[in-house]
Amino acid sequence: MMTFHREGRSIMLGSFGLFLGLSALNYYLLFEALFGLFVFLELGFVVLLYLVVQFFRIPSRTCTGGALDIICPADGKVVVIEEVEETEYFKDKRLQVSIFMSPLNVHANYYPISGEVTYTKYHPGLFLVAWHPKSSTDNERSTCVVKNANGQEILFRQIAGALARRICYYAQEGDKAQQGAEFGFIKFGSRVDLFLPLGTKIDVQLNQKVKAKLTKLGSLN
């Protein structure tokens, strides 16, 4: 069963109203005078409306990850797997896994593990393209850390991109995070970074396409 995200209600309604207005104007000006151009433009309007509506789709999925499994928090493609220095919260070396979301992906974001939310912070910033090396530190972003029952913490970060102009995040410190439950949404493209303990077993590869709530990124020790 397919549903649509609440963050898209006003945008979808506005897009539908714009579609009706443009279609009416197109019919009035071109239907009889230039029928071929009328059909071409009308098809373009339909495609644009479809792209907006499908962006906010939420497919029905069941998360079946185990207690130590790290489940993919977003649809997209794995673009980074490397050891880095995480400077905001851990301030030490971590294993970074990054998922790039195109405008055609589902854009709801989900908790990769269960536990307690121990840290959240929103950072205003720039809107560099999501694959830019500095987008992780310079772009608009939100950071969330969850500690599991064994005391292990992972950090995940929503990052806005050149098209994404609004990050929506719902996690608050002290919340109980449930693996596979929604913690946020990014409008119109971007990426999610995860920072994992060194030694974490990784089950995905670079350029692999992944699905939120379904793909297992790796396992904590």
The number of distinct structural domains making up the chain is 2
- Residue 64 domain-assigned (yes or no): no
Return the higher-pLDDT residue of 20 and 58.
20
Same domain, 109 and 27: no
- Integer Cα distance of 126 and 184 in angstroms: 19
- Residue 14 domain-assigned (yes or no): yes
Residue 120: is its pLDDT beyond 60? Answer: yes
Q: What is the mean pLDDT of residues 1-5?
A: 73
Active site amino acids:
190
Structure tokens belonging to residue 121: 């912070």
pLDDT at 113: 97
Residue 172: is its pLDDT beyond 90? Answer: yes
Contact 159, 195 (CB under 8 A): no
Same domain, 19 and 116: no
Contact 142, 117 (CB under 8 A): no
Same domain, 143 and 197: yes
pLDDT at 133: 55
User: Residue 109 — pLDDT band, cuts 50, 70, 90?
Assistant: very high
DSSP state of 107: -
Same domain, 117 and 198: yes
Which ranges of the chain would DSSP assign to H, the alpha helix? 9-30, 35-55, 135-138
pLDDT, tens only, 130-162: 555 555 666 788 999 999 999 999 999 998 865
Same domain, 52 and 157: no
Which ranges of 31-162 would DSSP assign to H, the alpha helix? 35-55, 135-138
Query: Range of 73's domain?
Result: 69-219
Taking Cα atoms as reference points, which of 156, 178, 196, 145 lies closest to residue 74? 156
Of 59, 79, 101, which closes a domain?
A: 59
